[in-house]
């Protein structure tokens, strides 16, 4: 493998021992090249702009500038550089923030060498990589977010309440004194306003966020 074929990696971590361990790993792995080390987010941004690495291994809790902001600035000025967050613990709020800032992956520091090797190669190829813990954190975070929902009319609220009860369109129509066709139209509108893809998802969302009494 030529030098041009190697994946060029920048390591950003404020803990010298951990940073040194990652550096040693990268020097020993075939196909990887350590191009620089940063001890805080500001240094990471400066080095990324100077060295244009393929991947930055980014600690998120660092002084001067945290890893989330550093990720945002690197992705803005070096669009071909991918960032993989590598942290000591999973924070349900930090995971979505890092990904929204532009990180392509999120790993915890107990990751195995083989998993880290695979993650770096996937990131360099533009493929996302999340630890199972990060994936679960995203799910948990999404479940706590109240969606922006377009207001339902009083009639649509009635229809939704009966959908939650498990009634069919025909049964809802009879209960409300409207035709089955009109009920179907209301259901379609409700699904669209709630931003979901199906009747089942509409009912689940209504229950989760207390949209009906």
Q: Is residue 31 located within the same domain as residue 97? A: yes
Q: Does 135 fall in a domain?
A: yes
CATH number of the domain where residue 190 is located: 1.10.10.10
Q: Is residue 120 located within the same domain as residue 182? A: no
Q: Does 104 fall in a domain?
A: yes
Q: Is residue 19 located within the same domain as residue 119? A: yes
pLDDT of residue 140 exceeding 70, the answer is no
Measured in degrees and rounded to the nearest 5, phi and psi for residue 99 equal -70, -40
Q: Does 149 fall in a domain?
A: no
CA pair distance 120, 29, nearest whole angstrom: 11
Confidence grade of residue 1 (pLDDT, cut at 50, 70, 90)? very low
**Structural domain containing residue 112:** 3-144
Q: Is residue 178 located within the same domain as residue 198? A: yes
Q: Is residue 134 located within the same domain as residue 164? A: no
Higher-confidence residue: 190 or 213?
Answer: 190
Q: Does 16 fall in a domain?
A: yes
Q: Is residue 93 located within the same domain as residue 45? A: yes
The tally of domains found in the chain comes to 2
pTM score of the predicted model? 0.65
CATH number of the domain where residue 134 is located: 3.40.50.2300
Confidence grade of residue 139 (pLDDT, cut at 50, 70, 90)? low
Residue ending a domain, among 144, 169, 192, is 144
Q: Does 160 fall in a domain?
A: yes
Q: Is 210 exposed, middle or buried (0-12, 13-18, 19+ CB in 10 A)?
A: exposed
pLDDT of residue 2 exceeding 60, the answer is no
Q: Is residue 168 located within the same domain as residue 64? A: no
pLDDT in tens, 144-156: 655 556 789 999 9
Of the given ranges (17-31, 73-87, 116-130, 195-209), which has the lowest mean pLDDT? 195-209
Q: To which residue do tokens 């922006």 refer? A: 148
Q: Is residue 164 located within the same domain as residue 87? A: no
At 133 the pLDDT is: 78
Measured in degrees and rounded to the nearest 5, phi and psi for residue 38 equal -125, 145
Distances (CA, A) of 145 to 55, 86, 148, 164: 31, 25, 9, 21
Residue ending a domain, among 119, 144, 169, is 144
Residue ending a domain, among 107, 125, 144, is 144
Q: Does 213 fall in a domain?
A: no
Higher-confidence residue: 93 or 159?
Answer: 159
Helix 132-144 / helix 94-101 crossing angle, nearest 10 deg: 100
Q: Look over the chain and give the mean of its residue pLDDT values, rounded to a whole number.
A: 88
Q: Is residue 98 located within the same domain as residue 170? A: no
Q: Is residue 97 located within the same domain as residue 179? A: no
Of the given ranges (24-28, 146-150, 195-199, 203-207), which has the lowest mean pLDDT? 146-150
Mean pLDDT of 88-114: 84
Higher-confidence residue: 209 or 62?
Answer: 62
Q: Is residue 123 located within the same domain as residue 200? A: no
Q: Is residue 82 located within the same domain as residue 172? A: no
């Amino acid at each position: 493998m030529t030098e041009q074929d190697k994946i060029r990696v920048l390591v950003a971590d404020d803990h010298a021992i951990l940073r040194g361990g990652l550096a040693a790993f990268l020097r020993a792995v075939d196909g990887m090249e350590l191009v620089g080390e940063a001890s805080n987010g500001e240094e990471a941004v400066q080095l990324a702009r100077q060295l244009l690495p393929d991947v930055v291994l980014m600690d998120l809790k660092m002084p001067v500038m945290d890893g989330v902001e550093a990720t945002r600035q690197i992705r803005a000025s070096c669009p071909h550089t991918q960032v993989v967050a590598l942290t000591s613990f999973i924070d349900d709020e930090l995971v979505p923030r890092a990904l929204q800032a532009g990180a392509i992956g999120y790993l915890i520091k107990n990751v195995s060498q083989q998993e880290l090797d695979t993650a770096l190669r996937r990131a360099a190829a533009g493929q996302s990589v999340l630890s199972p813990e990060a994936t679960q954190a995203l799910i948990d975070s999404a479940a706590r977010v109240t969606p922006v929902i377009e207001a339902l009319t009083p009639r649509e609220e009635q229809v939704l309440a009966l959908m939650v009860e498990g009634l069919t369109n025909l049964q809802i129509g009879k209960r409300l004194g409207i035709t089955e066709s009109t009920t179907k139209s209301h259901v379609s509108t409700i699904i669209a306003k709630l931003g979901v893809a199906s009747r089942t998802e509409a009912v689940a969302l209504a229950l989760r966020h207390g949209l009906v009494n």
